Amino acid sequence: MKAPKLLLGLGAAWLAGWLLVPAPALADRAARMTPAVRVVQAAGPAVVNISTKTRVQTRLFRSGDEAMDRFFEEFFQPMQREQTSLGSGFILDGRRGLIVTNGHVVSSANEIRVQLSDKRVFPAQVVGADPQSDLAVLRITPKGALPQLKLGDSEQIMIGEEVIAIGNPFGLSHTVTVGVVSALGRKVRTNGNQWMQDLIQIDASINPGNSGGPLLNADGEVIGINTAIFQQAQGIGFAIPVNRVRRVVEDLVRYGEVVPAWLGLELQDLTPRLAQAFGLTEARGVLVTQVLENSPASEAGLERGMVLTSLNGREIKDSGDYGLALAEVGVGQEVRLGLRQGGQTQERSLKARAFPLERAMEISWRRLGFSVTDLDAPTALRQRVRTGTAVMIDKVRKGSAAEEAGLMPGDLIRQVGDGPTPNREAFLRQMAKHRLLPRITVLAQRGGVAQYLTLGPE
């Protein structure tokens, strides 16, 4: 009977001793203030939640023939339903209330609302959007200035460096994920035959709703905009480099659209045989095949036969690199070109101009193999489409990519890339924007059948 008392006494002694042991010292708060924590605390207030509402019309009958569909609409009114979506963005200019996000976050939206980190909600208007780069700028009108983020330099990104993504995945506001830069210069297929190029690959978790949110480095600078994910993969996300963001946003704010920059050069990729002929040890760079008259390049003294090796310090290995580098150049910006000629290296400076639209049809004829004209009312009626929805091919060049694809005079072109072509001017603008891509996708229609065609060298 005494044993339990002994055990009880020992237990009480042990408990008393345990209670007398001092609690472990709380971790030093300063030691827990990692770079990621500091970035989130500083940048978080400038990250916003974007919600949209889109009214979508659905037809009870779809025949594939627009004239027949219009006939049915007279008797059966289309049904309307409302779609909602969520995305992210960040404040670029707190004084003017300018917000940057992905273009697909706000495309076709009838109503856009922006929620700040302090829970205030504002209606937003689209300042401009660019489907090709998938970027858009919104404006809100709050009272007083707002916090804003600083843009970094995507040319300084290092593979392996830590990055922080802030966004609103699945509507969970201000979610933070941390990872590293996995790779640079990635190319990812988006919708249909469209591609996004020169993306930053990261392993920070990116989910639906993160689109448009900032990707930050350890200094708190925006180095990209989170934009794309592989739905079937884990640890693979993509972001648009901030240098492209900066250039597109400047044009959207100034002009409401992206104005393509032009130097006046026609270029050709180098092959090993061509490189040897021009005295080069390797096929790196692009060969100048033509310098257009009255262009920035001609005024800077560039000549046929020169090899372009860099643009603003960025190495140019092929025509794809040239297109990506020029996409970051704004109209009126000074451009430095690195060149080789006759075994000698040199540098020339010139100022980019807006691409002259009158040359866009020439590009369509030479590269794609067709020219277009506006669609008049009688032709639209014969084609069973609405006027102002397409342009019509009037000529097809023999032996061209268009002829090989089966295009014929009288066929309609409804899109170039992601951009609609309701008239000839819109077609020229889209050709100007897509002219530097190695292959150009068009949406062609004959009768009631429409299909995407990608034209250019394989």
- State the residue for tokens 């397409």: 390
The DSSP code for 287 is E
- Contacts of residue 85, Cβ cutoff 8 Å, sequence gap at least 6: 51, 52, 54, 105, 109
Six token digits for residue 268: 């050709």
Q: Which helix (H) or strand (E) holds 299?
A: helix 296-299
Q: Concatenate the DSSP letters of all residues of 328-341 into one string.
A: TPPTT-EEEEEEEE
Helix residue ranges per DSSP H, 133-285: 242-255, 272-277
Residue with tokens 């937003």: 124
Look up 211 and say whether it is catalytic: yes
Q: Which residues contact 244 (CB under 8 A, 6 or more apart)?
A: 133, 154, 198, 327, 328
CA angle 403/405/411 to nearest 5° reads 75
- Supply 328's token pair: 């970051």
CA–CA separation, 225 and 165 (whole Å): 9
Query: Annotated catalytic residue: which of 88, 211, 364, 371?
Result: 211
How many of the other CB atoms lie within 10 Å of CB of 300? Answer: 16
Residue 320 contacts by C-beta under 8 Å, 6 or more apart in sequence?
197, 438
For this structure, is 134 an active site residue? yes
With H, G, I as helix, E, B as strand and everything else as coil, classify residue 246. Answer: helix
Separation CA 406–CA 6 (nearest Å): 99
Q: What share of the chain is helix, strand, coil (3-state, %, to 5)?
A: 25, 35, 35
Question: Residue 9's CB: how many other CB atoms inside 10 A?
Answer: 10
**Size of the chain in residues:** 458
122: Cβ–Cβ under 8 A, 6 or more apart, which residues?
Answer: 97, 113, 114, 116, 140, 141, 142
Alpha-carbon distance of 322 to 288, in angstroms, equals: 12
Sequence-distant (≥ 6) Cβ neighbours of residue 60 within 8 angstroms:
72, 76, 78, 79
Which position among 51, 85, 104, 319 bears the catalytic label? 104
Of 326, 344, 210, residue with least CA distance to 280: 344
Asked whether the beta carbons of 269 and 232 are under 8 A apart, the reply is no
Distance of CA 350 to the CA centre of its chain: 27
Asked if 158 and 203 touch (Cβ cutoff 8 Å), the reply is: no
The catalytic position among 130, 134, 251, 411 is: 134
Residues recognised as catalytic = 104, 134, 211
